[in-house]
Structure 1
Amino acid sequence: MAIQSDLNCDIREPYLTNNTRCAILNTLWGLNVVPQRYSQDLGDVYLRYYSEQCMNTLNSGGFEGIVSTHADIIQIIERLREPNSTRERLKDSLRDKFPDLPSDKSEVLICEIIDLAVRLWLMIDVGEMLHGFIPGQKSLRWEQGALADLLVKRFSPSVAMPMRVVRVKLDRLFTARNIERIAGLQIVWTSNILDHLRLMVDDTRIAIYHHASFLEHHKSNPVFPQGFIDETIRTLSLLFPQYDKKSRKWFKVQQNKYGLDENVSASGHLTTEERQIENFIFWHDRLGILKQVFDEAEPSTIGQWWRDRRRRVQWYTFWVAAIVLMLTIFFGMIQCIEGGFQVYKAYYAS
């Protein structure tokens, strides 16, 4: 009953008390956290996403008769969790529960509130996303049937890359830090699992899902395909190796700048055997494409040339040639200056 009372507060209120924070996380993540022991690194990043999603959807108006408190939206999420839940059954139950909704808007309002519940529960952008849409992101259309069936189809294992890419080695240089600093790709931090590891804008940007805490507390969520969450965590371990000091330092800067989940840099560290691309079945294709773009990227600035150690022989050759060139220019300038002095002295001998 205590959790229920903590959830009975205005869902449009931007500030969440510790009691409400704990009640939301305990209900949606299956935790047992008390307000006295709540820490910001547990779920503050997710709760910010939770509040933004609620504000973006509910502030458009018309939802007062359906959702007014956190308890209202969580009740819909609880129905989504039922094993035999389908979109049709959920829509029928909401129509029965709210018979006074305007007939011309009831279908749209009910569909939008169901999509909101899915986004809050699974962090998957479902629906048209009319409010708060981020350019370039992908959304999932759920129009009928069971949500679990849709996710199995959407996240089905895929190994469709050519053999030359399938056998690619995900070496230790293949980290998010080097993807940005060496390959020059801009990292777009996303809260939509659908966009994870997706290249955008002519392969100049890469989206990375950063909610490691959410993933850690949804390992046993049966709506996701078996093994999907564990593999997603391993992609974070690949891109943000826990024992790489340079990666951790780089991510700390990113975290402070963009308000990211700090547990990303604590996702673990993969061994050489675990970094084989064949061990990734859900994210296999996107990892293969990203690695191909990373390998084919050529340095375009002096800084990138200095940081690019992917081909060490080429790196040494380039810098030896650069040093020889600089020394040649340096000594050439000295000879020119010396020659100028000699000419000057020849004409103006004392």
Structure 2
Amino acid sequence: MSLQNEKLSSNPSLADIGTLNLEQECALINAFWPHLHLVHHDYIRDDYEAFFDFIGKTFRNLHPHASKLAIQELSGLIAIVKNLRDNRCLAQKEFIKYVKEDFSTSDCAAITRSIEVAVQIWLGIYVYSRKFSISPRNPRDSQVEWDDDQSLQGIIEAQFPGRLGKIELPDSLLDESFTAVNLKSICRLNIRWTNHIIDHLKLEGPRGQRTLSVYRHKICLINHRKDPAQNLILKDVLDEAIRTLDLLFPFGDPKTEQFLRNENVHFRTTSPLELSRAAALKESKYWRNNLAQLSRILHGPPEDVAQTLLDTRNVSQFATLWVAIFGVFLLTILFRIFTTVYSIKQYRIAIQSYELALALACQQTIKPISGFCG
């Protein structure tokens, strides 16, 4: 089956992923990861639903700029991905010259933009060139600048500094309570799904209003990891990213499975490497800082009043707090009741005192007071 005539941007309707049938989706996956040899009867569409939605959204956003891109067909995108895989060590300016052989009618700016799009889709890394970039983006997504004298492999390796040295942090265990669902329900963290691996486990926002970004394309990490050849993303990085997803979204946990269903995210695919669950911070290298911060938030004191009131981690403290709250509430109600009853009594006494004073005044006057003494 050929994808040669499947337009990417020139026809906006094809920006919708629904325009590709099952066999075409399989062909595109095999083009990105040739080692998979995926056939349609082994293809689980749910696993790739978010990925194809990401591709469709990317090209819909790029449609107004389609004339500024060198790629107009899926075959062009596939050609660039193949060149990226085979020439990862070339500096950008040299790589552009190499790719230009396949896009002789396009200028360097259009080719550069097309390379950026291919990297964003294939690797989940938002690269850009200051001179030529046009890709619309979410301002919360991190960008990686790619200078013309740098190789793609070099700039990607620089994004994961954990490989350069172990981060010194107090070690701690990551028990079974360390899940995204608990971080959300107990610590009131918002979960933001991201298409960019650089932003995985990035924590933003003030205390009590934090947002945690989570990379949503686990299937892409697994596909990269299955590649027997060297990856542009280090295999250690891929392994750790997969383990963090398995750690935060454990298999078989009913609350996690319900949360993922509600979010329409599919993490059921397991790694063929049977990676063990991370049990301690020391087992992490690239995301150790992020996990340590999340662990401190989960096991530390509440960050705001709302979290304090809903924090059930320590049942005795939780019960004591609410008993105290209800006690104060009950005392307040009783005090107001007693105050009201006392006020009514004071009012009645005041009326009676007034009537008594009026009666005495009427008895002591020779001439009755008009309007008061009948």
Same fold (TM over 0.5): yes
Query: Looking at CA atoms only, which structure, 1 or 2, has the larger radius of gyration?
Result: 2
Equivalent residue, structure 1, for 2:370:
none
Q: Does 1:49 align with 2:73?
A: no
Alignment equivalent of 1:317, drawn from 311, 317, 320: 320
Q: Partner of 1:277 in structure 2? A: 281
Candidates 328, 338, 344, aligned match of 2:331: 328
Pick one of 58, 67, 82 that aligns with 1:62: 67
> 1:251 and 2:252 equivalent?
no
Distance 2:124 2:153 in 1: 14
Match of 1:9 in 2: 6
Q: 131, 147, 155: which one pairs with 1:150?
A: 155
The verdict on how the C-alpha distance between 1:150 and 1:320 changes in structure 2, with shifts beyond 3 A counting, is same
Which amino acid in 1 is paired with 2:186?
I
- Do the aligned partners of residues 298 and 54 (structure 1) sit closer, same or farther apart at CA in structure 2, a change above 3 Å counting? same
Return the offset for 1:299.
4.0
Alignment of 1:19-168 (within 5 A): 19-30=23-34, 31-35=36-40, 38-57=43-62, 59-63=64-68, 66-82=70-86, 85-86=89-90, 87-101=92-106, 106-127=107-128, 130-143=134-147, 144-157=149-162, 163=169, 166-168=170-172
SS of the residue corresponding to residue 8 of structure 2 reads coil
Task: Give SS of 1:187's match.
Answer: strand
- Offset of residue 43 of structure 1: 1.3
The one-letter amino acid paired with 2:124 is M
How many angstroms does 1:213 deviate by?
Answer: 1.4
Match of 1:238 in 2: 247
Q: Which residue does 2:178 correspond to in 1?
A: 174
**Is residue 175–residue 239 contact of structure 1 (8 Å, CA) maintained in 2?**
yes
Q: CA deviation at 1:77?
A: 0.6
Instruction: Letter of the 2:177 partner, please give it.
Output: L
Matched residue, 1:291: 295
* CA–CA separation in structure 1 for the residues paired with 2:345 and 2:145: 81
Shift of residue 276 of structure 1? 0.7
RMSD over aligned CA atoms reads 3.2
Instruction: Return the alpha-carbon distance in structure 2 between the equivalents of residues 99 and 211 of structure 1.
Output: 34
CA distance 1:242–1:333, change in 2 (3 Å): farther
Give ranges in structure 2 of 5+ residues lacking alignment.
353-374
Partner residue, 1:194: 198
> Does structure 2 retain, via aligned residues, the 8 Å contact 1:161–1:288?
no
Partner Cα distance (1:108, 1:205) in 2:
36
**Range with bigger deviation, 147-156 or 53-62:** 53-62
Question: Please, what TM-score do these two structures have when normalized by structure 1?
Answer: 0.80
Contact 1:191 1:211 in 2 (8 A): yes
Paired residues, number: 329
2:217 alignment counterpart: 211
* Cα deviation, residue 132, structure 1: 2.8
Change (3 A) 1:232 1:84: closer
1:258: which partner in 2?
A: none
Distance 1:146 1:35 in 2: 35
Q: Counterpart amino acid of 2:156?
A: L
Q: Deviations over 1:266-307 (max 9, x none)?
A: 789975xx3211111011112223333443542422xx4454
What do residues 60-82 of structure 1 show as CA deviations (whole Å, max 9, x unaligned)?
A: 03356x32211111011101111
- Unaligned runs of at least 5 residues, structure 1: 256-260
Rounded Cα–Cα distance in structure 2 between residues aligned with 1:99 and 1:342: 98
Q: 1:37 to 1:286 in 2, by over 3 A?
A: closer
Amino acid at match of 2:161: S
Whole-Å separation in 2 of the counterparts to 1:284 and 1:81: 29
Checking the alignment, whether the CA contact within 8 Å between 1:183 and 1:297 is kept in structure 2 is: yes
- What's the % identity of the aligned pairs? 23
Show CA shifts across 1:225-266 (max 9, x none): 1311111111112211223212222232222xxxxx312697
**Would the alpha carbon gap of residues 320 and 161 (structure 1) be closer, same or farther in structure 2, given more than 3 Å must change?**
farther
Q: Does the aligned pair in 1 maintain the 2:194–2:216 contact within 8 Å?
A: yes
Alpha-carbon distance in 2 for matches of 1:168, 1:247: 23
Q: Secondary structure at the match of 2:176?
A: coil
Q: 1: distance between equivalents of 2:253 and 2:348?
A: 61
Q: Amino acid of the residue matched to residue 250 of structure 2?
A: P
Q: Deviations over 1:164-205 (max 9, x none)?
A: xx3244333332222222222322211000111112244622
CA offsets per residue over residues 104-132 of structure 1, 9 Å max, x none?
Answer: xx232121111111112111111156333
Tell me if the contact between 1:73 and 1:117 (Cα under 8 Å) persists in the aligned partners: yes
